Amino acid sequence: MKVLVTGSGGLIGFETVAFFLKKDVEVIGIDNNMRRYFFGEKGDTTGNIQFLKGLNKKFTNLNLDIRDREKIMKVFTEKGPFDLVVHTAAQPSHDWAAKEPFTDFDVNAVGTLNLLEAFRLHSSKGVFIFTSTNKVYGDTPNKVKLLELEKRYKYDEHQTMNGVSTEGISEEMTLDDNTHSIFGASKAAADIMAQEYGRYFKLNVGIFRGGCLTGPQHSAVELHGFLAYIVDCAINNKPYTIFGYKGKQVRDQIHSKDVVSLFYEFYKNPKQGIAYNLGGGKENSASILEVIDVLENDFRLKLKYTLSDQNRIGDHLCYYSDLTKLKKDYPNWKITISIKDMIKEMIEWRTK
């Protein structure tokens, strides 16, 4: 077996590489540390790459830009064919995307197309996994009926909008007629192209629309990586700003290990051009205020925070994934790590 992982130094890429190296599989990584360009020193992934190199000699990282079509094609012709391609490399922040929309689109949309075409030409018998985002639904989740509780919002059981229930947002929600943010639009373009390569060319392509994917080694910053960043602020006594919605905005959290275990299940039983919502689901959802309570009550970490009336453009008021379709197709997969366990692991990682 031979695996290609883009964004090998990032959160999901790192976990994917580690997963297959522990199976003694040859893994080729692609990571040019562009995350540092996006987020500064705190986004630097150099340490993650060095760790993976020490984990198993079967790992090789290529310092390539996925926007470089010729070099990406060369990777497939010289290093392939690949049994599995896991494409996690991206510009991941909808706030940052507005600063450089060309860069955002070229990385997220054009880079994905480069990889899909190289896969079609040189690894077509393999499996391609694309990490999309729930931002492809734009701000449509903000138009559903919600109930406001003391410290969070939740979905009203009397829904009229297609694609939402008390279990969360399903894949039936429309991608049209909403504000996506520039980031959401570039990821939606890549998402649809990945679906098309699966269906039109009959390739094994899976699209996973991630909610909040996290883990202890998450290189979080204010603009990206909510749970890890709020833990960082609490540990280091740094001020934290809540942008809009009174801190009651809800996200579902899923650990990177649970994400990669799902990818492996998909690899063993792939489908062509299918999209899944991927997150912690209702059971692993929490508002910012609820996370602050967990930090204080369970871990004695008091967060210094301020509330801003201005929410981020295209941001979700309440989002957790309906995992019904995913669990039906992959019944052997389940979420194994709770939010409290994630926070505990993050604290231990940052204070050891």
Q: How far apart are CA 264 and CA 95, in angstroms?
A: 31
User: Three-state SS for 333?
Assistant: coil
What lies within 8 Å, CB to CB, of 3 at 6+ separation is 16, 20, 25, 26, 27, 28, 82, 83, 84, 85, 86
The token pair at 278 is: 């991927």
Tell me what pLDDT residue 93 has.
85
Q: Among candidates 136, 223, 139, which has minimal Cα distance to 185?
A: 136
**Mean of pLDDT values over 126-148:** 95
Of all residues in the chain, the percent with pLDDT exceeding 70 is 98
Domain boundaries, position 108: 2-351
- Please say if the pLDDT value at position 314 is more than 90: no
State yes or no: cis peptide before 81, omega within 30 of 0. Answer: yes
Q: Express each pLDDT in 186-203 by its tens digit.
A: 999 999 999 999 999 999
What lies within 8 Å, CB to CB, of 308 at 6+ separation is 241, 242, 243, 244
Strand partners, 210: 133, 278
**Mean of pLDDT values over 340-349:** 95
Q: Express each pLDDT in 218-274 by its tens digit.
A: 766 676 678 999 999 999 999 999 999 999 999 999 999 999 999 999 999 999 999
At residue 352 the predicted structure's pLDDT band, cuts being 50, 70 and 90, is: confident
Tell me what pLDDT residue 63 has.
97
Neighbouring C-beta atoms of residue 8, cutoff 10 Å: 28
Q: How far apart are CA 273 and CA 200, in angstroms?
A: 9
- More confident of the two residues 218 and 302: 302
Average pLDDT along the chain:
94
Q: Which CATH number covers residue 272?
A: 3.40.50.720
**Mean of pLDDT values over 57-78:** 98
At residue 43 the predicted structure's pLDDT band, cuts being 50, 70 and 90, is: confident
Tell me what pLDDT residue 160 has.
83
Neighbouring C-beta atoms of residue 50, cutoff 10 Å: 12
- The number of folded domains in the chain is 1
Q: Express each pLDDT in 84-102 by its tens digit.
A: 999 999 998 888 999 999 9
| pTM score of the predicted model | 0.94
Q: How far apart are CA 270 and CA 348, in angstroms?
A: 36
Tell me what pLDDT residue 39 has.
85
- Please say if the pLDDT value at position 312 is more than 80: no
What lies within 8 Å, CB to CB, of 112 at 6+ separation is 66, 87, 130, 190, 193, 194
The token pair at 79 is: 């290093």
Cα separations (Å) of 148 from 153, 169, 198, 289?
A: 5, 17, 40, 13
Give the DSSP H/E element, type plus range, for residue 252.
strand 250-255
